Structure 1
């Protein structure tokens, strides 16, 4: 499928996460106009810093991303916009398309593989991850528990936003082949003092 891309420095969007964006560059205003006219999503991909990535822009653009569905858009008098998106399905970039002013690509949706250990293992690991989060943020524990999603997939996305991970670690979690693998990558990012050690 052909997808307009919005590369963001050191940002990884996960399924179910809500992300506010400020659209000011003319090429991304054009992207937003296309999305508003079509009702279709665009893709959010991580853009690496020059120090960690290649020499060209395309070398620094992540090859895995998440569909971003537009929830709200407010256009300002100067033509810029404040938008709110929610993450959808994960995708892989097959090849970049240079025919638009904004970055675009041919992508393949990339659903998580079923885990051989099944749902009980995912649920148990998600519960441990939530316990880790509550220990990591003890003063906000009640609020975090109240807002924590119940499904392991959305809890993984919730944790990815709250853990002290760098963008490369978040991208590694997004790339994980199964949900259990994603939960394990996220648990590995919990500081040792907050980790449940059983």
Structure 2
């Protein structure tokens, strides 16, 4: 078990993905100041964890993931990802602009009691088990094909996109870049391994591509669909 400062957000970070942040709240300014004071040989990292309810996001629907209650006004999902600060710019008024990189997943076991104004989590690091290379390659090929179909449906063109060959890297990239709900992204982050994540992504991408096809087949504008019908 380790202690990790937490940065609750209304988003999900995946390993290997970049997350720029603008830090303006006093409690998180203090967090960044504490990290900059660490010895140079220690990683400057904090835990990005999605908010289920409270603070920066409004009330959301319940999902299957566990909830950690961090006070009466905030509840967090159980699985998060450590963000390592790669670039930091301190602004004249005390705010910070950060460039961070997702490193490794963790499970939030509880919230530690201390005097810091920001949350500190008791976490355990989650492994990324190595699966059967042939099976992972087969699943990655299926996700790659489904993702290309999804991109064509989104962009309405035939242009392809260069994507990584590594199944784990691909699984994280697709999870972070496809237009999914926070609950969908959180579910993908919580998958125990690459194979499980790829299987779920293939199903999600097929669902989203089919929905996009149905929307384009409706013979009315999207603006008309957004207006409630009158009971009269």
**1:33 aligned residue:** 33
| Secondary structure of the corresponding residue to residue 29 of structure 1 | helix
TM-score, with length taken from structure 1: 0.87
Q: Are the structure 2 counterparts of residues 193 and 61 from structure 1 closer, same or farther at C-alpha, using a change threshold of 3 Å? A: closer
5+ residue gaps in structure 2?
54-58, 63-68, 211-232
From the two aligned structures, give the one with the greater helix fraction.
Answer: 1
Q: Which secondary structure does the structure 2 equivalent of 1:72 belong to?
A: strand
Over 6 Å off, 4+ runs: none
Question: Per-residue deviation at 1:130?
Answer: 1.5
CA contact (8 A) 1:3 1:104 kept: yes
Matches within 5 A, 1:29-178: 29-38=29-38, 39-49=43-53, 50-52=59-61, 56-58=72-74, 60-99=75-114, 100-115=116-131, 118-138=132-152, 139=157, 141-142=159-160, 144-145=161-162, 148-178=163-193
CA-to-aligned-CA distance 1:105-161 (integer Å, 9 cap, x gap): 11110112343xx1111122112212211111124743x21xx22211111111012
Question: What displacement does 1:192 show?
Answer: 4.0
User: Contact between 1:4 and 1:43, CA under 8 Å: does it hold in 2?
Assistant: yes
Output the CA distance in 1 between the equivalents of 2:138 and 2:99: 32
CA distance in 2, matches of 1:87, 1:33: 20
Q: How many residues align?
A: 188
RMSD of the TM alignment (CA)?
Answer: 2.0
Shift in alpha-carbon separation, 1:193–1:91, aligned structure 2, 3 A = closer
| Cα deviations by residue, 1:72-125 (Å, 9 ceiling, x for unpaired) | 11111111111111111110112101312101111110112343xx11111221
Is the CA contact (8 Å cut-off) linking 1:134 and 1:140 kept in structure 2? no
Q: Tell me the TM-score normalised to structure 2 length.
A: 0.75
- Check the 8 A contact 1:135/1:141 in 2, yes or no: no
Distance in 2 between the 1:65 and 1:21 partners?
Answer: 16
Unaligned runs of 5+ in 1: none
Residue pairs, 1:180-191, within 5 angstroms: 180-191=195-206
